[in-house]
Amino acid sequence: MGRFLDALSTPGLQGIAEVKRRSPSAGELRPDADPAALAATYEQVGAAAVSILVDSRFGGSWDDVRAARSAARVPLLAKGFFSTDDDLRAARDAGADAVLLILRDLDDETARRLLARATDLGLDTLVEAHDAEELARAGRLDAPVIGLNARDLATFEIDRRAQLRLVASAPRDRVVVAESGIESRAHGAEAELAGANAILVGSTLMRAPDPGAKLAELLSRPLVKVCGLTRAEDVEAAADAGADLAGFVLAEGSPRRAASVLPVPATMLSVAVQVGDPDDAGADLVQLYEQKDGKVRGRDAVLLRDGHEVARVLDLPWGEADPGHLARARAAEGRVVLAGGLDAGNVRAAIELVHPWAVDASSGLESAPGVKDHERVRAYVAAAR
């Protein structure tokens, strides 16, 4: 296992941060980008690896890899349209740890030869696919790291829905990287829940005033959920405050029952909160509680994506307290969504104790059942951050 593969195999969503001065689709992005300074910054804020564009069409060169190598120890991915052994040797000699192989440009025989040659040179590979056929090819080639690109290289258009379908269908015994189209923490979380081990982010970072701060934002956890939303103005307030997840209670008998799942901005994912049997509510995720003892809901829930469990929601008993709640959550394994009695006054202490994947608050943010107090929402999100 090489340094690149090893870094991406670490538990949790990993980030590959890119250095890219321009793009054929977007034009100039950051013409004065300094690969040494950016690589050092990306490493400092927690990037698992740094991607360097070496093709002149992107304003890059092999000197950019050398500069990044001189400033940072983080694994480096050389990105270009590589098709020969000489390309791979150039990457190794410049200090790269891994190279990009784009299946759209390579037949199976060439791709297999380059994979073997990369191994001989001590390089890892990121084998990039754009559709189901290329994903199947990557599987047959035994590519250890598969990149699934949301961008159509012919039209340059982004299709994140198609990318997420590919991520969800990728072999689980490979490292899967979601490439392109990641602009918010929610986008990264959506790729993570679909099965991605890492996200590769380029244009979003290059457009940001502070690329390092933007990368830290995209990778930061916990996600913040505001639940019990019933009004469009409250959804907007939660989004403006920086919440990532918008929860809509669809259970009969709840004082916070919403008529439907409301539209949410691209920076958020919608969550339908249901009890008993789930149905198609048109949400990105479903938070499903058991019906228990004739009550509105049981205690804990599961978070579902396309019917598959992706996280556990650890909550308080319905209408009751539990002094051991945080200790129980702290001992839980896997992705934990921490819920139950959270607000601006206690969420930070809960996060520091439990280290959850997400936090979830509802009644503590209200002026009345189903009506959010916008100042409380802002304070809660700020405290959770």
Among this protein's residues, is 20 annotated catalytic?
yes
Among this protein's residues, is 109 annotated catalytic?
no
**Domains 3-219 and 223-384 fall in the same CATH topology:** yes
**Chain segment 205-257, per-residue pLDDT in tens:** 999 999 999 999 999 999 999 999 999 999 999 999 999 999 999 998 889 99
Among this protein's residues, is 179 annotated catalytic?
yes
- How far is Cα 71 from Cα 4, in angstroms, rounded to an integer? 17
**Chain segment 275-294, per-residue pLDDT in tens:** 998 888 899 999 999 987 76
Active site residue: 134, 179, 190, 366, which one? 179
Entry pTM: 0.93
Active site residue: 180, 203, 270, 362, which one? 180
223-384 CATH: 3.20.20.70
- How far is Cα 325 from Cα 335, in angstroms, rounded to an integer? 16
Longest dimension (CA), the chain: 70
- C-alpha distances in angstroms, 87 versus 83, 117, 120, 160, 273? 7, 11, 14, 30, 51
Q: Is the pLDDT of residue 26 over 70?
A: yes
Among this protein's residues, is 184 annotated catalytic?
no
For domain 3-219, the CATH superfamily is: Aldolase class I (3.20.20.70)
Rounded to 5 degrees, what angle do the CA atoms 100, 112, 123 make? 45
Q: What is the mean pLDDT of residues 354-365?
A: 97
**Chain segment 139-196, per-residue pLDDT in tens:** 999 999 999 997 766 677 778 888 999 999 999 999 999 998 899 999 999 999 999 9
- Assigned token pair, 339: 């819920």
Q: Write down the domain spans for the chain.
A: 3-219, 223-384
